[in-house]
Amino acid sequence: MIDNKPRLLLNCDMGESYGPWQMGCDSEVMACVDMANIACGFHAADPDTMAETVKLAADRNATIGAHPGYDDKVGFGRRSIPHTPEAITHLVQYQVGALQAICQLYGSEVSYIKPHGALYHDMMNDQQVFEAILKVAATFDGHVKLMIQATADNQKYNVLAKASKVELLFEAFADRAYNDKGQLLPRTESGAVHHDSKVICEQAQRLAKEGIVITDSGQRLSLNADTLCVHGDNPESIAVVKKIREALA
């Protein structure tokens, strides 16, 4: 029997350097992933870094996504900053527009939006924030998707997105621990981030083949994901990404 289930695409946050400060191993990891989430200058990056990452993605045939965050380089976008829904829309539109302009300069385009850090979590926990970001994706007439976290119940997000005529991409995480509600354990909690390459690869394979994760309490939780987020911040993580790619192949 032939398995017609689409392959789980790999995505990675990239272009997060800033001037002389270097973050990540973009050139190495780009060869292993399908989708590049490129920082847009607020939580990290600058115009030159954005341009170099866009060119690198184009050279490696990786789909380009905008990775906007709160205006917070000091906190690397991991601190929630109160905004009105309208201000969230402006914040994201500004960043996506900047990356889209650079993409056009080099013959590419933004295909999706994946918010970063605290903005991502606020989007998942606050419907007003989610709808404010949907409004940005909707301005591209169906050509730009919105990537959000796969949950035990994706339907409520699909209903809102359909009303805005925006397509969603649901992602899961290979190196993060989940609770029984399908939420990521906060980074402040012990065991929130997996470091053992065997554990990470097993979670990736389980998500790809069975559509489940094992929660921190040992429960089997169904997650219907389109893409798997991996990280390539150092040589060790690059080796893990390569193992994941081989495992999913």
In a domain, 76, yes or no: yes
Contact 59, 27 (CB under 8 A): no
Residues contacting 2, CB < 8 A, separation 6+: none
In a domain, 128, yes or no: yes
**Of 153 and 217, which is predicted with more confidence?**
217
Residue 212 has pLDDT above 60, yes or no: yes
Confidence at residue 6, expressed as pLDDT on a 0 to 100 scale: 54
In a domain, 104, yes or no: yes
Instruction: For residue 72, give the nearest of 42, 39, 116, 37 by alpha carbon.
Output: 42
Q: In CATH, what number is assigned to the domain containing residue 36?
A: 3.20.20.370
| 107 C-beta neighbours (distance < 10 Å), count | 9
Percentage of residues of the chain with pLDDT beyond 90: 80
Q: Which residue has the tokens 């398995």?
A: 3
In a domain, 4, yes or no: no
Distance CA 122, CA 68 (A): 13
Instruction: For residue 148, give the nearest of 110, 122, 178 by alpha carbon.
Output: 122
Percentage of residues of the chain with pLDDT beyond 70: 98
Residue 248 has pLDDT above 90, yes or no: no
Residue 87 has pLDDT above 90, yes or no: yes
Distance CA 234, CA 29 (A): 10
Quote the number of domains for the chain.
1
Q: Average pLDDT of 193-202? A: 91
Confidence at residue 4, expressed as pLDDT on a 0 to 100 scale: 45
In a domain, 2, yes or no: no
Residue 10 dihedral angles phi and psi, to the nearest 5°: -100, 130
Question: Which three-class secondary structure state does DSSP give residue 222?
Answer: strand
In a domain, 1, yes or no: no
What's the Rg (C-alpha) of the chain? Answer: 17
Q: Average pLDDT of 194-208? A: 92
**Of 112 and 182, which is predicted with more confidence?**
112
Range of the domain at 45: 9-248
Interhelix angle 127-138/117-125, rounded to 10 degrees, is: 110
Alpha carbon separation from 8 to 11, 100, 195, 245 (Å, rounded): 10, 26, 21, 10
| 102 C-beta neighbours (distance < 10 Å), count | 23
pTM of this structure = 0.94
